[in-house]
Amino acid sequence: LVGIGCDAKVAYDFHTTREERPDKFSSQFVNKLIYAREGAKHMMDRSCSDLPWHVSLEVDGKNIEIPEDAEGVIILNIASYMGGVDLWQNDNNHDDDFSSQSMHDKMLEVVCISGTWHLGKLQVGLSRAHRLAQGRVIRFHLHSSFPVQVDGEPWIQPPGCLEISHRGQMFMLRRPSEEPTGHAAAVMSDVLVNAECNGVIDAAQKRLLLHEIALRLSS
C-alpha cells in the first residue's frame, strides 16, 4: 500500500514526534490518542489541500486527473486499509467500469480521499473513497516535496517521479476448515521450508511445489 498526501503527512508527523519524544509513547492507547491528535490537526489546517496542483498521476501511460478536492491518493491491491477499511468496495454498486479488486490479477487500484475527516468517515463506514484508476504501472510525478508512506513507513519525497508496479507473487497454503487436510497442509509447508533452509531445494522450487500442493488441496 502506497499513500501520498494527507494520510502520509499524519503518519510522518506521528513518526517524527515519536523519534523526538519516545517517552511519550508509553502504550498502544496513548499512541492511538497521539495519532488521532495529529489527524485532527491536519483536518483543521488542510496541509495537503494543494495536492492536485503539485502531484500528477499516470496509470499505464495515461494521465489521470486528480479531483480538486483530493488531499490524498492511495495505491492498493488488498481490501484492507487502516486496520481493515475496504477502500475499493467490490461488493457495492459503482457508477464506473472498473473491475473487482483481486490480489491475484497483478493489477493495482488507485483511490483518492478528501482529507483526514474523510478518512475518519471511511473508518466507520459513513463514506467511500473516490475510485480513480486500475493499472499495472502507476507513476506519481511530484512537482514539489510531498509526504509519502509505504505500508506505514513515511518520508518527505523530493520532486521527481515515483513508479509503482507489481513485482512478484508468492503461493501460500491456506488451512481449510477440514482438520485432516489442514494438518496435512501445515506439515507439507513445514517440510518445504525446512528443505529450503537445508539447501535441498531452492526458493523457486519451493514456490512451484507450494503452488502444486495448493492446487491439489483445493480440488
Mean pLDDT by 10 residues, the chain (219 residues): 90 85 77 70 75 96 95 90 82 82 88 86 84 95 95 93 84 57 70 81 83 73
Residue pair 19/167 in contact (Cβ under 8 Å)? The answer is no
**Angle between helix 116-123 and 6-20 (nearest 10):** 100
Let me know if 111 is exposed, middle or buried by CB neighbors in 10 A (0-12, 13-18, 19+). Answer: buried
Whole-number pLDDT of residue 182: 62
pLDDT at 143: 96
Measured between alpha carbons, how far is residue 171 from residues 10, 102, 144, 192, 203 in Å? 34, 15, 39, 12, 11
Per-residue confidence (pLDDT) for residue 40, from 0 to 100: 66
- Is the C-alpha dihedral spanning 62, 145, 1, 81 positive or negative? negative
What's the predicted TM-score (pTM) here? 0.72
Give the per-residue pLDDT at 109.
95
In this structure, the strands spanning 55-59 and 62-64 are antiparallel
Type and span of the H or E element at 36: helix 28-45
pLDDT at position 173 is 59
Cell 497454503: give the residue: 173
pLDDT of 145 reads 95
Sequence-ordered list of residues with C-beta below 8 angstroms from that of 157, at least 6 positions apart, any chain: 4, 142, 145, 146, 147, 148
Give just the sign of the alpha carbon dihedral 92, 76, 129, 82.
positive
Q: What is the pLDDT of residue 112?
A: 95
